[in-house]
Amino acid sequence: MSWIDGLRHRLRTVVRPGEFERDLAEEMRMHEELDAMQQQDPHGARRRMGNRTIHKEDTRAATWLRWFDLFRQDTGYAWRSIRRTPGVTAMIVVTLALGIGVNAATFSVLDQIFLRDPAGIVDPGGIRRIWMKHTRTGSAPNFYGQPMSFPQYKVMADAWGAPAQMAVMTSNGGFHLGGTRAGYSSGILFTSANYFTLLGLKPAMGRFYTDAESQPGTVTQAVVVSHRYWKAHLGGDSRIVGKRIKLDTLEYKVLGVAPEGFNGISTEAAEIWAPLGALPGADAPHAGAPSIWESSRYLVFFTFARVRDGMNLADFERKATAAMRETNRRFDGPRADTLMLVKAASIIQARGPETARQEELIATRLQGVAIIVLIIACANVVNLLLARAVNRRREIAVRLALGISRARLVRLITIESVVLALIASVAALLTAWWGGSLLRSQLMAGTNFAQPAMHAHVVWATLVVALACGVIAGVIPAVQFSRPQLTADLKDSTRSGTRHRSRLRDGLVAAQAALSVMLLVGAALFMRSLQNVEGIDIGFDSRRILYGNVAFEPGQAPPRAGLVATSRDVAERLRTRPGVEVVARAGLMPMRGFGFWTFYWGRDSSRSLTKQFPMGFAVSPEFFAATGMRLLRGTTFHEGLAGTSELVVNEATAKLLWPQGNAVGQCMRFQTSDAPCTIVTGIVTNATIGDITEQPPPQFYLPLGTALTKDIEGGLLIVRTKKGAEATATREMIALLRQAFPTAEPIIGSMTDDLDPKYRPWRLGAQLFTGVGVLALLVALVGIYSTVAYGVGQRRHEFGVRVALGARLGDVLNQVVGEGVRVVLAGVGLGVVLTFLTSRLVASLLYGVEPNDVSALILAASTLLLVAIVATLVPAWRAAKADPVQALRGD
Amino acid sequence: MSKRDLLPGTLDMLVLRTLSLGPLHGYAIAQHIEKSSNDVFQLEQGSLYPALERLQGAGLITSKWGKSPTGRRARYYTITTSGRKQLGAEISNYDALMHAIASVLGRA
């Protein structure tokens, strides 16, 4: 095919330009020599050859080298003109860097949560996690969850069709390396042996455990460690395989090291893997209870499987759903979840059917906001470039007159903005790296990340966005200014009286204003939400509450009876110490956990409660005083009565169980319907138990040390300190605890610390959206200022005439500010409309405030207008103060 | 005739026609065009080379370095099959054009 020859020729000239040039020169020289010989006239030959340089250039222009030449010329031109106006260039680069950088930062977080496959795995697309939809009765709506019981896993594996293709795992946390509390603490993932083979992993050193070693019932004390863990905590010892390491109280043999870069399949890094059978306490979790492998109550197992070629996932889901419902019926009887649904979903956890967690919602909304900021930044840049192009009108007109094609001119101007954008993208990547890490650590604090924040995805995304911005920001002014109006432009047209109001520029300013209003409204809404959340009555008075506890070295905790007595003793002694107001004891920290007891009241049993099940806590009588819960009726209970027992209920329980009358004095009988009466002595306020924004559930409080609560140690001290005496109280607590438990480490916490993570998403949301809102405001400020400044600069002549004719300062100010503000006002109107349309998207992140809150809108609009007035005032002032003679005379 | 009067398309066609008679080097092509036109066409010799490059890029001719009869290194151009086809097409276009002009002028 001849066109292939043509192609080959073209490529050859591009790949070897030197050879092309040399050959052409030689050929033309030979041509001339031959001609000279033929005509016997060397000078004539020279003449007949013509202008060799032009011919050479024309020949070169007929090859593909033309594009390289053009590109080099255009880039050189772009570079020179960038250097000529450093101020505007700097503003453009900074604006773009901020816009692109913010996007890259949020994208890196989103990428990590939603888009990145776990590293180091073969064909992650072929792996599916198994989810179940629970239709539990209870106050929680239907929800999707991954954890299942071991019998349920077996059912799933059967339904998959090839049980060996499904792996099962469960994790336990907090194993200290070296057996002391000072050692590095990490979780262990107990898995079936096919975990490694299904993921396509090969050990970096040693081997993985086998099927035989990981069977339930076989206890193989061996582990595989991650490459990172091996390097960081085992010293990168090249002889680690076969050595034993101590994790808490047990020794494990290191079988192998996982390949570098593999840190599990979740966002949180997995550091140690052990055979499933080695799960501590699996065989007899409580005395007399069935083992974890047989019981349906321990929903702690996660499963994933590899899809076979030609396998139909819908079939699996149907089979598994049917099998699961049957299994539930068999195990749980009448209370079984017979509406359970099974789903197979992506290996990336965030893409599963579970409702998005708050962090994920914030991350996605933040990305939307970042995109808006980018649009504002780009609009800004277009405006700056338009303004700059106005100054170069004459130069462009000359080029057009000389015959440059319009396409070439557009390309020329666009290349300039692309170069600027690429420069900005370097700065943006740095912003992204720093910002992305910051965002990650704030949004998902405490996570030990499996993957680094920066990834090729982010770099590519940044470059693509920068390129797109550069092209768009350059094409618009380029197209506008390449329209030939030669005569007007060649002459110096600044003297003409025409208004240089560009509709495009005004439109861009209005657009910026509109988007800024949206962001400011968002910021106001989030601040208000935070205020509301912080104002919620959580039922406790969280100021001045300290927790005291001790931590023993693994395996060194003394027997329970001694612990209880010592704790009570410590509490007694603490009561008389300075700085201490109230001391109480409890089994668990408030909001950390609860227990379920079966009880009977009136003629009903707790089994009949389907919607709300009261949760129980074991506490000492001073608990309510210590935590600031108010007794609405009655009194707290007495401690340690052998005969009658007493309890306190909260408002919600009182309403649930005795909706008609007074709960005080009523009876609850625990465990059997003819058990002795436990009298309700008081009703206490509702206290939050999990999510601050959720309605507190029914709860009741039992005294420590009775027959019902004998299993609970009550070793936690809850201390209310006197005003300003926190430090004193802390010291006293540490001293007494050390005295009582010399081998243990006292741990002092506070309720405010405990509450902090609950408020954090709200605080974070407010901070982030406010930060972005302020950023957008700044960018809009710069945009409005520069647009007005350039406009005023162009009309210097006009203003000079006005002032010379007697216009006063006030008149000029009025005119300029009025013009500017009118445009911004239009933008604000548009922004209000946009806000109404899009506010639904953030509704789920707000609390106690409607997305269309009027006061927030008013606040945002007025802030922006104020900023606009300030921005237009400065150039207006300068225009008014300019010397009219200069303006009239000048260029 | 100066270079300007000869449109780039026409020059390409003349080069193809010349090469359809056999492989030639650049100077020989220029000579042939001048001679065959009885010196009516006096090319600016250098303008041949952009045309040759264009034709090579389109795959209508190929080139190879060889030895001239006098023993010097010279680049010889050969027409390709698609070159011949293109020549045929261009010639019939040209004929149609000339015929039309002649008709209008009343010369047909």
pLDDT > 70: what percent of chain A?
94
The answer to whether the Cβ–Cβ distance between A24 and B49 falls below 8 Å is yes
* B57 has a chain A CB within 8 A of its CB: yes
- Per DSSP, A449 falls in state B
* B67 has a chain A CB within 8 A of its CB: no
CA distance A612 to A590: 19
The answer to whether the Cβ–Cβ distance between A2 and B80 falls below 8 Å is yes
Q: What is the pLDDT, as a whole number, of residue A498? A: 45
Q: Give me the mean pLDDT over the A736-762 stretch.
A: 85
Q: What is the pLDDT, as a whole number, of residue A489? A: 57
Residues of B in contact with A32 (CB under 8 A): 45
pLDDT > 70: what percent of chain B?
90
Q: What is the pLDDT, as a whole number, of residue B3? A: 45
Q: What is the pLDDT, as a whole number, of residue A891? A: 52
The answer to whether the Cβ–Cβ distance between B82 and A3 falls below 8 Å is yes
| DSSP per residue, A225-264 | E-HHHHHHHSTT-TT-TT-EEEETTEEEEEEEEPPTT---
Q: Give me the mean pLDDT over the A301-320 stretch.
A: 90
* A27 has a chain B CB within 8 A of its CB: yes
Across-strand partners of A190? A170, A274
* A881 has a chain B CB within 8 A of its CB: no
Q: What is the pLDDT, as a whole number, of residue A495? A: 47
Question: Who among A2, A24, A58 is closest to B83 (CB)?
Answer: A2
What angle in degrees, to the nearest 10, is found between the helix axes of B48-57 and A17-39?
Answer: 140
Q: What angle do CA A180, A183, A189 make, to 5 degrees?
A: 100
* A287 has a chain B CB within 8 A of its CB: no
Q: What is the pLDDT, as a whole number, of residue B62? A: 92
Judged against a pLDDT cut of 60, whether residue A643 lies above it is answered with no
Q: Which residue of A has its CA nearest to B48?
A: A55
User: Strand locations in A404-555, DSSP E?
Assistant: 545-551
Q: What is the pLDDT, as a whole number, of residue A410? A: 85
3-state secondary structure of A669: strand
The ipTM value here is: 0.84
Q: How confident is the model over A531-570, as pLDDT tens digits?
A: 998 888 888 888 889 988 887 776 777 777 777 788 888 8
User: Strand locations in A587-634, DSSP E?
Assistant: 599-601, 604-605, 615-619, 631-634
* B27 has a chain A CB within 8 A of its CB: yes
Structure-block tokens of residue A495: 């003297």
Residues of B in contact with A30 (CB under 8 A): 26-27, 72-74
The residue type of A626 is A
Q: How confident is the model over A220-273, as pLDDT tens digits?
A: 899 999 999 999 999 988 898 999 998 888 889 999 999 998 998 888 889 999
From residue A444, give the alpha-carbon distance in Å to each of A229, A447, A472, A529, A754.
21, 6, 35, 20, 16
Least confident of A280-294, A412-426, A524-538: A280-294
CA atoms within 13 A on the CB side of B65: 10
Judged against a pLDDT cut of 60, whether residue A486 lies above it is answered with no
* B8 has a chain A CB within 8 A of its CB: no
Q: What angle do CA A814, A816, A819 make, to 5 degrees?
A: 100
The answer to whether the Cβ–Cβ distance between B3 and A5 falls below 8 Å is no
Judged against a pLDDT cut of 70, whether residue A405 lies above it is answered with yes
Q: Which residue of A has its CA nearest to B56?
A: A6
Q: Give me the mean pLDDT over the A613-634 stretch.
A: 87
The answer to whether the Cβ–Cβ distance between A6 and B58 falls below 8 Å is yes
3-state secondary structure of A823: helix
Q: What is the pLDDT, as a whole number, of residue A206? A: 93
Question: Who among B62, B65, B72 is closest to A5 (CB)?
Answer: B62
Q: Give me the mean pLDDT over the B24-41 stretch.
A: 85
Q: Give me the mean pLDDT over the A147-176 stretch.
A: 88
Closest-CA distance, B71 to chain A, in angstroms, reads 12
Judged against a pLDDT cut of 90, whether residue A809 lies above it is answered with no
Best of A58, A65, A67 to disrupt the B interface (most B CBs within 10 Å) is A58
The answer to whether the Cβ–Cβ distance between A49 and B26 falls below 8 Å is no
Closest-CA distance, B56 to chain A, in angstroms, reads 6
The answer to whether the Cβ–Cβ distance between A30 and B81 falls below 8 Å is no
pLDDT > 90: what percent of chain A?
12
Q: How confident is the model over A463-481, as pLDDT tens digits?
A: 888 888 888 888 888 877 7
Residues of A in contact with B52 (CB under 8 A): 59
Q: Which residues contact A186 (CB under 8 A, 6 or more apart)?
A: A174, A175, A177, A229, A271, A272
* A758 has a chain B CB within 8 A of its CB: no
Q: What is the pLDDT, as a whole number, of residue A194? A: 92
* A711 has a chain B CB within 8 A of its CB: no
Mean of the per-residue pLDDT values for chain A? 84
> What b-and-e string marks burial along A65-88, b requiring 16 or more CB atoms within 10 Å of the CB?
beeeeeeeebeeebeebbeeeeeb
Query: How big is the A-B interface in CB pairs under 8 Å?
Result: 87
* A29 has a chain B CB within 8 A of its CB: no
Q: How confident is the model at residue B49 (pLDDT cuts 50, 70, 90)?
A: very high
**Which range has the top average pLDDT, A224-233, A363-372, A599-608?**
A224-233
From residue A121, give the alpha-carbon distance in Å to each of A157, A201, A263, A345.
21, 7, 10, 17
Judged against a pLDDT cut of 60, whether residue A844 lies above it is answered with yes
* A24 has a chain B CB within 8 A of its CB: yes
Closest CA to B15 of B81, B77, B102, B96: B77
Judged against a pLDDT cut of 80, whether residue A135 lies above it is answered with no
Closest-CA distance, B46 to chain A, in angstroms, reads 5
Q: Which residue of A has its CA nearest to B31?
A: A35
Closest-CA distance, A18 to chain B, in angstroms, reads 16
Q: Give me the mean pLDDT over the A736-740 stretch.
A: 88
Q: Which residue of A has its CA nearest to B30?
A: A31
Q: Which residues contact A825 (CB under 8 A, 6 or more apart)?
A: A865
Structure-block tokens of residue A489: 């432009």
The answer to whether the Cβ–Cβ distance between B44 and A50 falls below 8 Å is yes
Best of A11, A14, A31, A67 to disrupt the B interface (most B CBs within 10 Å) is A31
* A51 has a chain B CB within 8 A of its CB: yes
Q: How confident is the model over A11-63, as pLDDT tens digits?
A: 888 888 899 999 999 999 888 888 888 888 888 888 888 888 888 998 998 88
Q: How confident is the model at residue A640 (pLDDT cuts 50, 70, 90)?
A: low
Q: How confident is the model over A101-126, as pLDDT tens digits?
A: 888 888 888 888 888 888 889 999 89
Q: What is the pLDDT, as a whole number, of residue B80? A: 92
The answer to whether the Cβ–Cβ distance between B49 and A4 falls below 8 Å is no
Q: How confident is the model at residue A497 (pLDDT cuts 50, 70, 90)?
A: very low
Judged against a pLDDT cut of 80, whether residue A281 lies above it is answered with no
Question: Who among A6, A24, A35 is closest to B45 (CB)?
Answer: A35
Closest-CA distance, A74 to chain B, in angstroms, reads 23
Closest-CA distance, B104 to chain A, in angstroms, reads 35
Q: How confident is the model at residue A642 (pLDDT cuts 50, 70, 90)?
A: low
